[in-house]
Structure formats: C-alpha cells, structure tokens
C-alpha cells in the first residue's frame, strides 16, 4: 500500500505545481504592455447624392469631391501601466493605391486634446503606403474603450486599407473589450476560483483515496497478501534448510524461527507507521500465523 500512497502523493504535488506555474504565467502575461488597435471605417461618410435637391459643393483642400470617407485608428491602453512619451508609427496600406487617397488627417489624444500628441514628421506617402509618426506624451491605462491616441483620416476610396502600428517596446493587438483591466480582473478572479477548485479537487481525491479506497483495497486484497507472506516464509524456510544454515534446528523449530523472524520484521514496520497509514491498510495488524511456512 505504501507504493500506492507514494503515487497519490506524487500526483498531488504535480497537480499543485502545474496549477501554480500556470497561474503565475497567466499573471505575467497580463503584465506585458500592449496597445489595442481599434479601427472604424466608413467609405461613404459624406456625398453629394445624399442631397439631390440642393446645390452642395464638397471641397477638401481647394479640390471639389463627389464623396469622401472617414477612418479612425484608435490606440487603447488596456495594459497594467501608463505609457509616457511613446513614439508611435501608424502605417496605412491601401489594397489598391490607385483607388485610395488620403485627403486630410488629424490626431488627438485623451479627451480629444490636441496638445498631448506631437506629430514628429509630415505624412509620408511612398507610392504604396502612408506613414504617420507621432510622440504621445501619455497614453494612460483605461478600463473602458477611451483611446489614448486617435488618428482621423478623410479619404477617397471604397476598400478598407490595412493598418499597422508600431511602438518601441510595446506589443499591439486587435481591439477587444475583453482585454480591458476590468475583464482581466474578472479573468483573474475566475482563474483563482479555478485554481481553488483544482486544489480542492486534488484534496478530495487524496482524502477519498486514503480514507476509503485504499482501506477497501487492503480488505479485499488481504487474502492475497497472506498468501504472499506465506509463500515468502516458505521460500526462506527452504533456503535455510537446503543450505544447512541452522543445522541444530529441526523442521518444526525452523518453521517457528522463520515465522517469528518475519513476524517481528512486519511488526516493527507496522509500529513505525502513522495512524493515517495504518488506516489506509484497513487497520489490519500483523498476524504471526500469516508468516508461517507451508511445509
């Protein structure tokens, strides 16, 4: 039974270790600074056909347009710390450069402020992509969807372009409200309950196994244990007799000698067990006759 107990104990330690390591890795992942990228694209933000009975001229930078779209690229800080003096590059990559053109752009910081974000370079178009470079004085962590930086574009085109955002030392990901600290706290709370459940489950398994299953197994296997002990005693008897190790003992005395020897060994081990381990063995004490050789 001691071997079974060691297996149960090892499995328990493994389960606890795995749960703790998994929980610590989860907490470490939550600490990694990340910016969520939220995009909103509307290709038909304003157009003349919406007002067919009125004479409306849609002019952008002294050029008349039939239709314009608007796009918002917002950076939301759901991480665990504020991000200060952060260089940010936003790249807009049209699917078809001939059918997409940025007409105007603006950038704002938290609470629609314009002085908290500095554009370090003018917009650059290399024939394939549009580049925007900023320094955000502060993109503070938030619980809700409030952006710390928002790029606004007026454009001509119908297909939504690809957006890439890079910030030194910061990871980016697609916007998801579940990434917010409030949701993260809920996840941590849920994970904590899960870990508690796992530990409770392991504890219940150990208790049930030690208090009920192992004693039951010991009871059902008692007859086979007795047969094993008698077989061992018989083998030891024949070894001593055939090798003439105790020539002064006849068969009866040798049988009694082997019985007493093995019984005292078993009794010594039994007395060294704790009450719990004795219980797992169904509280069956050593019996001298269980060690008598079958001769």
Residue with the larger pLDDT of the pair 266 and 189? 266
Whether residue 1 is predicted with pLDDT greater than 50 in this model: the reply is no
Separation between Cα atoms, residue 135 and residue 88, nearest integer Å: 6
Asked whether 168 and 139 are in contact (CB, 8 A), the reply is no
Sort 58 into a burial class: Cβ within 10 Å, 0-12 / 13-18 / 19+.
middle
Asked whether 280 and 218 are in contact (CB, 8 A), the reply is yes
**Residue among 105, 107, 100, 91 nearest 67 (CA):** 100
Whether residue 245 is predicted with pLDDT greater than 80 in this model: the reply is yes
Q: Which CATH class name applies to 34-169?
A: mainly beta
Domain boundaries, the chain: 2-13+186-291, 34-169
Asked whether 146 and 129 are in contact (CB, 8 A), the reply is no
**pLDDT digit string, tens, across residues 45-54:** 877 666 667 7
Give residue 45's pLDDT: 83
Whether residue 3 is predicted with pLDDT greater than 60 in this model: the reply is no
Stretch among 104-108, 215-219, 281-285 having the lowest mean pLDDT: 215-219
By DSSP bridging, strand 149-157 and strand 100-109 are: antiparallel
**End-to-end alpha-carbon separation of the chain, Å?**
28
Separation between Cα atoms, residue 121 and residue 124, nearest integer Å: 8
**pLDDT digit string, tens, across residues 23-45:** 666 666 656 578 999 999 998 88
As a whole-number percent, the residues of the chain with pLDDT over 90 amount to: 51
Q: What is the DSSP string of 158-181?
A: SSPPEEEEEETTBEEEE--GGGSH
Q: CA dist 63 to 98, 153, 257, Å?
A: 18, 16, 115
Residue 228 phi/psi, 5° resolution?
Answer: -65, -45
Give residue 26's pLDDT: 62
- Which tokens belong to 164? 């890439």
**pLDDT digit string, tens, across residues 174-188:** 998 888 877 655 566
Asked whether 71 and 190 are in contact (CB, 8 A), the reply is no
**pLDDT digit string, tens, across residues 194-240:** 777 777 777 777 777 778 887 888 888 889 889 999 999 999 999 99
Whether residue 108 is predicted with pLDDT greater than 90 in this model: the reply is yes
pTM: 0.55
**pLDDT digit string, tens, across residues 52-92:** 677 777 777 777 777 889 999 999 998 878 899 999 999 99
| Mean model confidence pLDDT for the chain | 84
Separation between Cα atoms, residue 106 and residue 110, nearest integer Å: 14
Strand ranges (DSSP E) for the chain?
34-47, 58-60, 63-65, 67-77, 83-93, 100-109, 117-119, 124-125, 130-139, 149-157, 162-167, 171-174
Asked whether 290 and 258 are in contact (CB, 8 A), the reply is no
Whether residue 2 is predicted with pLDDT greater than 50 in this model: the reply is no
Whether residue 130 is predicted with pLDDT greater than 80 in this model: the reply is yes
User: In which element (H, E) is residue 23 found?
Assistant: helix 2-31
Write the Ramachandran bin of 62: left for phi over 0, alpha for psi from -120 to 50, otherwise beta: left
Q: What is the DSSP string of 179-224?
A: GSHHHHHHHHHHHHHHHHHHHHHHHHHHHHIIIIIHHHHHHHTHHH
Enumerate residues 6+ apart whose C-beta is below 8 A from 103.
60, 61, 63, 65, 68, 154, 155, 156
């Amino acid at each position: 039974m001691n071997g079974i107990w060691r297996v149960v104990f090892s499995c328990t330690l493994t389960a606890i270790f795995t749960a703790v390591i998994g929980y610590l890795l989860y907490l470490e992942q939550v600490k990694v600074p990340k910016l969520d990228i939220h995009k909103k694209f509307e290709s038909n933000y304003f157009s003349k056909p919406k007002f067919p009975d009125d004479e409306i001229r849609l002019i952008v930078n002294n050029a008349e347009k039939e239709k314009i779209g608007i796009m918002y690229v917002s950076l939301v800080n759901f991480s665990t710390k504020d991000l200060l003096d952060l260089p940010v590059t936003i790249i807009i990559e049209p699917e078809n450069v001939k059918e997409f053109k940025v007409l105007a752009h603006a950038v704002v910081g938290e609470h629609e402020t314009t002085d908290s974000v500095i554009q370090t370079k003018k917009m650059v178009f290399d024939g394939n992509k549009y580049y925007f470079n900023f320094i955000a004085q502060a993109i503070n962590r938030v619980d809700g969807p409030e952006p710390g930086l928002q790029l606004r574009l007026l454009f001509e085109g119908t297909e939504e372009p690809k957006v890439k955002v890079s910030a030194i030392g910061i990871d980016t990901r697609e916007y998801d409200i579940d990434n917010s600290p409030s949701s993260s706290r809920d996840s941590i709370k849920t994970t904590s309950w899960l870990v508690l459940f796992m530990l409770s489950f392991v504890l219940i398994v150990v208790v049930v196994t030690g208090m009920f299953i192992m004693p039951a197994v010991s009871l059902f296997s008692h007859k086979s244990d007795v047969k094993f002990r008698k077989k061992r005693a018989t083998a030891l008897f024949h070894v001593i007799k055939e090798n003439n190790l105790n020539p002064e003992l006849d068969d009866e005395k040798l049988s009694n000698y082997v019985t007493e020897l093995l019984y005292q060994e078993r009794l010594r081990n039994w007395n060294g067990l704790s009450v719990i381990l004795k219980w797992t063995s169904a509280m069956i004490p050593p019996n001298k006759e269980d060690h008598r050789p079958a001769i």
